[in-house]
Amino acid sequence: MADDDESPPYWTLISVLFSTQPLTPSLAMTLHQTAYELYQRGDSSGQVAGDLLSGRVHNLRKDVALGGISGPAFEAEIDTERGSGVVRFLLTRQGLELMQARPPPSRSKPPLLN
């Protein structure tokens, strides 16, 4: 997900339940994007990768609630520059609504060359 002024802040999109690694905003957004794609497609797992990140995100296929925050649950097994770790998180209902209200990013077609 690109960092731009139109992106909702990561704390609106994702709520971390447990993490053995410190999460930066960039890492949180990378996990969110992968989990959101899994959620939309209904897939059970997918690869996650970034500049200093690799691993796998698993869709736990259940909703969880933490106080007033609820949404679908995910678990990620990641390798970062700080070592291996596990992150359990949920996509917030508010974040899902915001993402669904946003138009998909425009992909301009390259000009045709003769």
How many domains are there within the chain?
1
In a domain, 58, yes or no: yes
Q: How confident is the model at residue 2 (pLDDT cuts 50, 70, 90)?
A: very low
- Residues forming beta bridges with residue 87, ordered by sequence position: 19, 76
In a domain, 114, yes or no: no
Listed ranges 33-37, 94-98, 108-112; the one with the highest mean pLDDT? 33-37
In a domain, 31, yes or no: yes
For the segment 28-68, what is each residue's pLDDT rounded down to a tens digit?
Answer: 889 999 999 999 999 999 999 888 899 999 999 999 998 88
Between 22 and 3, residue with greater pLDDT: 22
Encode the chain in three state secondary structure. CCCCCCCCCHHHHEEEEEECCCCCHHHHHHHHHHHHHHHHHCCCEEEEEECCEEEEEEEEEEEEEECCEEEEEEEEEEEECCEEEEEEEEECHHHHHHHHHCCCCCCCCCCCCC
**In this model, does residue 3 exceed pLDDT 50?**
no
Average the pLDDT over 88-92 and give the result.
95
In a domain, 111, yes or no: no
Residue 1 has a pLDDT of 44
Residue 44 has a pLDDT of 96
**In this model, does residue 111 exceed pLDDT 60?**
no
Domain that holds residue 42: 10-100
pTM equals: 0.79
